């Protein structure tokens, strides 16, 4: 009798799929990134607290004006940012900033040939050169024209943020001032410089920012070969350099306690 056929029972393996994406996914990455960012911010704050005032002002300048337009003054050129020293090395940057600021003036195209900015041994010299008809001051007196007032006000807004002191000069040509002789080019040059000072102090300069007001009459002609040329009549605003701070090593040290006293010089026989 044949043996009955036997068949092996199939083996069924059930694998349970582990899927954690349903409940938390990559949320831990976001939390970790937030933690790292917070720690970095903490370390930056701790570093800033231990730095010098110069570094603090530089960082403050960046956050007030990230584009860099106010790099010299901690804000925009006409803003009210913190004062930052303009040293001799920075004077060229200030010159460029002033030129850019003046180009935004509505009437600048009409006066651009009569404004000169020059870096000199004293500092940055801004000169407002007159024309025959009077570009910045009315002819024969110390009253500014509309253009002159606009330009002086703009300069005051830009320079008032600086700790640098200013000098304001008045110059005339060699043509004698008409009148009875009691008012001359000396008075006219000084009065124009003083008029510019009053206007600029009212529109942005600090009260003590102007160190000197000078009236030179025709003693410093811009074009000596043409003493009556209208460009000799001018107002100059000079941004003075800041003196470099003395280092501790450069300061005068007192003599040591055991140093011998200086002996008086013997008279020659």
Question: Domains in the chain, please, with CATH?
Answer: 55-84 (no CATH), 86-240 (3.30.1330.60)
Where on the phi/psi map is residue 241: left (φ > 0), alpha (ψ -120 to 50), or beta? Answer: beta
> pTM above 0.85?
no
Whole-number pLDDT of residue 85: 54
Q: Mean pLDDT by 10-residue block, N- to C-terminus, for the chain (269 residues)?
A: 59 63 67 86 81 68 53 40 61 90 88 93 94 91 94 94 95 88 93 97 94 96 95 96 55 51 48
Report which of 254, 234, 108 is spatially closest to residue 171, judged by C-alpha positions: 234
The DSSP code sequence of the chain is: -PPPP--PPPP----PPP--TTTTTTHHHHHHHHHHHHHHHHHHHHHHHTS-HHHHHHHHHHHH-TTSTTTTTTS-TTS--------GGGHHHHHHHHHHHHHTSTTHHHHGGGEEEEE-SSEEEEEEE--TT-SSB-TTSS-B-HHHHHHHHHHHHHHTT----EEEEEE--SSPPPSSSSS-HHHHHHHHHHHHHHHHHHTT--TT-EEEEEE-TTSS-SSTTSTT-GGGSEEEEEEEPPPPPPPTTTSPPPPPTTSPPPPPPPPP-
Task: State the pLDDT at residue 43.
Answer: 83
pLDDT at 157: 93
């Amino acid at each position: 009798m044949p043996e009955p056929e036997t068949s092996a029972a199939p083996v069924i393996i059930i694998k349970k799929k582990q899927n954690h994406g349903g409940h938390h996914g990559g949320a831990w990455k976001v939390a970790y990134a937030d933690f790292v960012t917070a720690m970095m911010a903490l370390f930056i704050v701790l570093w800033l607290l231990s730095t010098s005032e110069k570094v603090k002002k530089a960082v403050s300048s960046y956050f007030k004006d990230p584009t860099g337009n106010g790099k010299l003054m901690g804000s925009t050129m006409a803003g009210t940012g913190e004062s930052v020293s303009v040293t001799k090395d920075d004077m060229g940057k200030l010159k460029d900033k002033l030129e850019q600021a003046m180009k935004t003036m509505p009437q600048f195209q009409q006066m651009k040939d009569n404004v000169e900015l020059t870096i000199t041994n004293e500092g940055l010299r801004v000169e407002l050169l007159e024309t025959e008809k009077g570009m910045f001051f009315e002819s024969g007196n110390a009253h500014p024209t509309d253009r002159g007032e606009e330009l002086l006000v703009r300069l005051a807004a830009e320079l008032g943020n600086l700790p640098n002191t200013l000098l304001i000069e008045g110059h005339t040509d060699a043509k004698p001032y008409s009148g009875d002789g009691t008012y001359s080019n000396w008075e006219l040059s000084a009065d124009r410089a003083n008029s510019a000072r009053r206007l600029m102090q009212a529109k942005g300069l600090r009260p003590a920012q102007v160190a000197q007001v000078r009236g030179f009459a025709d003693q410093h002609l811009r074009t000596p070969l043409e003493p009556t040329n209208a460009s000799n009549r001018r107002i100059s605003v000079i941004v003075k350099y800041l003196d470099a701070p003395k280092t501790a090593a450069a300061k005068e040290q007192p003599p040591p306690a055991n140093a011998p006293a200086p002996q008086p010089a013997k008279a020659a026989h």
